[in-house]
Amino acid sequence: MAIVLGPHQYGKAENRVVRIYRDSPRHEIHDVNVSTALRGAFDPAHLVGDQSAVLPTDTQKQTAYAYAKEKGLTSIEPYGLELARHFVDDVEPVTGARIEIEEYAWERVVVDGTEHDFTFVRRGQEVRTAAVTVEGKGDAQRTWVVGGFKDLVLLKTTGSEFHDFLTDEYTLLEPTSDRIMATSLEAKWRFDSAALESAALESSAGFDWEGVYAGVKQTMVEVFATLHSLALQQTLYEMGKAVLERFPMIVELRMSAPNKHHFLYDLAPFGLKNRNEVFNADDRPYGLIQASVLRDDAPAAGAAWDVAGGFA
């Protein structure tokens, strides 16, 4: 028996890059948090402290800022692709790179009914995310792109039931035919790499990352609103299914949805009727429903979902 080094990666996490476009009086802002992780032939650094194959995490940071200017930073997915491909293609010991990005949305403030040219207010709603993974050199290179969002907090005040569930000796829950359903939705969708490449080839404008993002979000929100729900599981499945039906370049979608419990407050001791009007929004514990939806002919996921390399 010997003790050996297993999987490892390293990088610079949470670079807070803000990119302003100010070529016209109407400025644009892109505000991101980008994390890089490199995989490759770094065994000597672990085994004997030899750094000769290790590109410093500080260099990865410098590159993230420099690329915001050199390559530009508009949609986060292609920015992530530029970074990932650079590390794998241009740094010899690097055999794989994963770039994870969060984007914070800003909207223009309105003055006298007109959008302002260079003043913004942070929207504060969901955080957009992307995870780009590139593995391999040259012709063997493979690429996965995952788009997504988190912290989209949705709530419906009716149109949600939960009953006829399995019971055992620890079951106290009462069934209900009308409850608040609320969640802070996280969704991640895997793009079909081949479809992305085709789209990019067909049009000089490339792929419409912004349109897909807006469309996926709106689709999910609409299903959440309009589906009469028998369970959060059902709602998630139908949300994911609708996305796959409308967006052919997406092959899989994963969702994580805390059931943010709103408990009907008992006002009977005070002689008051509570007809689903007063609730306590509880913190913990919360239900946590996680589900995925995919095409039955989806290509293998490969490293697409390997968010943190299983580390933490």
Cβ at position 74, least distance to a second copy in Å: 13
Q: Is 131 in a helix, a strand, or coil?
A: strand
- Tokens at 282, concatenated: 């509880």
Q: How far is the CB of 99 from a second copy (least distance, A)?
A: 13
Distance CA(233)–CA(39), nearest Å, equals 36
Q: Which of 27, 57, 116, 157 is catalytic?
A: 57
Q: Residue 36, annotated ligand binder?
A: no
Contact of 83 with 59, CB cutoff 8 Å: no
Compute the distance between CA of residue 312 and CA of residue 309 in angstroms, rounded to an integer. 8
Q: 108 or 199, CB closer to a second copy?
A: 108
Which one of 30, 217, 261, 262 is the catalytic residue? 261
CB-CB neighbours of 219 under 10 Å: 19
Nearest to 267 by CA among 259, 255, 275, 257: 275
235 is catalytic: no
42 labeled binding residue: no
CB of 90 to a second copy, least distance (A): 7
- Does the annotation count 261 as an active-site position? yes
Residue 274 annotated as binding site: no
DSSP 224: H
Contact 274, 265 (CB under 8 A): yes
* Distance of closest approach, residue 83 Cβ to a second copy, in angstroms: 11
Answer yes or no: 273 catalytic.
no
62 labeled binding residue:
no
57 annotated to a ligand binding site: yes
Nearest of 239, 132, 123 to residue 186 by alpha carbon: 239
Contact yes or no for 266/98 (Cβ under 8 A) = no
Q: Tell me the binding residues.
A: 57-58, 162, 179, 233, 259
Q: Tell me the binding residues for 5-hydroxyisourate.
A: 57, 162, 179, 233, 259
Q: Tell me the binding residues for urate.
A: 57-58, 162, 179, 233, 259
Residues involved in catalysis: 12, 57, 261
